């Protein structure tokens, strides 16, 4: 392999995204005053009620991201609808726009790299050009990376928002290669945790792929990557 460019996903590959989401979601409810005076509560305490809302939100949010991958909703809709739905379901009388704004701001502050993330990025940057390719939201992803310990090891951040194409659309990978002036697909590898977005996307673009399977998931998708690792450290052997 003569790779020159490593494209790598951010969430659940380099950063612990569930942790960031949990923290941002809770802070949003704190800022809305949910835990202080809660006029929506009946016979529950606010923690129990919060947990119930959170669970429902996770279901709604995960469905919306699937819809987004299929092109059924766009990202602007997704940002608001997920709050609209829980507000309606739990009769919260909050403003979905406001909640969404607070949430995105908090999410942008939520930086939780994995233990080996910094070491890995430093290593990759010493050997290759490194680009992050993420399906996230621009105003969330930029500050998260820029304010993190890996910022200086990343040559370019490519957020689907700006391209108008989400992984697994090959255009986002082609855009990334263009940014680095790379034409030979053999010189590029895509590394990421999502079979449907990162691996399928890399394959669509005709580049090598490495599946980062940190949670030891079973692959029943039929999407096969060139490499697979279950720990970030294993990437040192491949790259």
> Which residues form the interface with Mg ion (CB under 5 A)?
9, 11-12, 193-194
Instruction: Give min distance, CB of 135 to Mg ion, in A.
Output: 8
Nearer CB in complex with Mg ion: 53/189 = 189
Instruction: Give min distance, CB of 42 to Mg ion, in A.
Output: 38
Instruction: Give min distance, CB of 100 to Mg ion, in A.
Output: 21
Question: Strand runs (DSSP E) across the chain, as ranges?
Answer: 5-8, 129-134, 156-159, 188-192, 208-212, 227-229
In angstroms, rounded to a whole number, what is the distance separating the alpha carbons of residues 68 and 81? 12
Instruction: Give min distance, CB of 11 to Mg ion, in A.
Output: 4
Instruction: Give min distance, CB of 17 to Mg ion, in A.
Output: 7
Instruction: Give min distance, CB of 160 to Mg ion, in A.
Output: 12
Nearer CB in complex with Mg ion: 96/209 = 209
In angstroms, rounded to a whole number, what is the distance separating the alpha carbons of residues 124 and 134? 18
In angstroms, rounded to a whole number, what is the distance separating the alpha carbons of residues 189 and 175? 14
Nearer CB in complex with Mg ion: 13/28 = 13
Nearer CB in complex with Mg ion: 9/169 = 9
Q: How far is CA 102 from CA 18, 79, 105, 171, in A?
A: 17, 11, 5, 31
- Residue where the block lists tokens 């999407």: 223
Nearer CB in complex with Mg ion: 85/144 = 144
DSSP-derived secondary structure for 139-193: HHHHHHHHTSTTGGG-SEEEEHHHHT--TTSHHHHHHHHHHTT---GGGEEEEES
Nearer CB in complex with Mg ion: 17/49 = 17
């Amino acid at each position: 392999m003569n790779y020159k460019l490593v494209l790598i996903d951010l969430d659940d590959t380099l950063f612990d995204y569930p942790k960031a989401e949990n923290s941002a979601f809770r802070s949003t409810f704190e800022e809305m005053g949910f835990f202080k005076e809660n006029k929506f509560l009946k016979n529950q305490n606010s923690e129990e009620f919060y947990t119930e809302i959170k669970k429902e939100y996770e279901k709604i949010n995960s469905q919306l991201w699937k819809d987004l991958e299929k092109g059924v909703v766009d990202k602007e809709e997704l940002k608001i609808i997920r709050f609209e739905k829980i507000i309606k379901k739990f009769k919260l009388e909050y403003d979905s726009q406001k909640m969404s704004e607070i949430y995105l701001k908090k999410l942008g502050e939520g930086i939780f790299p994995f233990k080996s993330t910094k070491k890995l990025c430093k290593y990759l940057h010493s050997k290759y050009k490194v680009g992050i390719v993420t399906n996230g939201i621009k105003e969330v992803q930029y500050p998260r990376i820029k304010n993190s310990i890996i910022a200086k090891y990343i040559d370019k951040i490519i957020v689907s928002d700006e391209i108008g194409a989400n992984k697994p659309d090959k255009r986002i990978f082609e855009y990334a290669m263009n940014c680095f002036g790379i034409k030979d697909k053999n010189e590029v590898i895509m590394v990421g945790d999502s079979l449907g977005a990162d691996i399928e996307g890399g394959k669509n673009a005709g580049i090598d792929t490495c599946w980062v399977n940190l949670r030891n998931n079973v692959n029943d998708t039929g999407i096969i990557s060139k490499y697979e690792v279950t720990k970030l450290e294993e990437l040192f052997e491949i790259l």
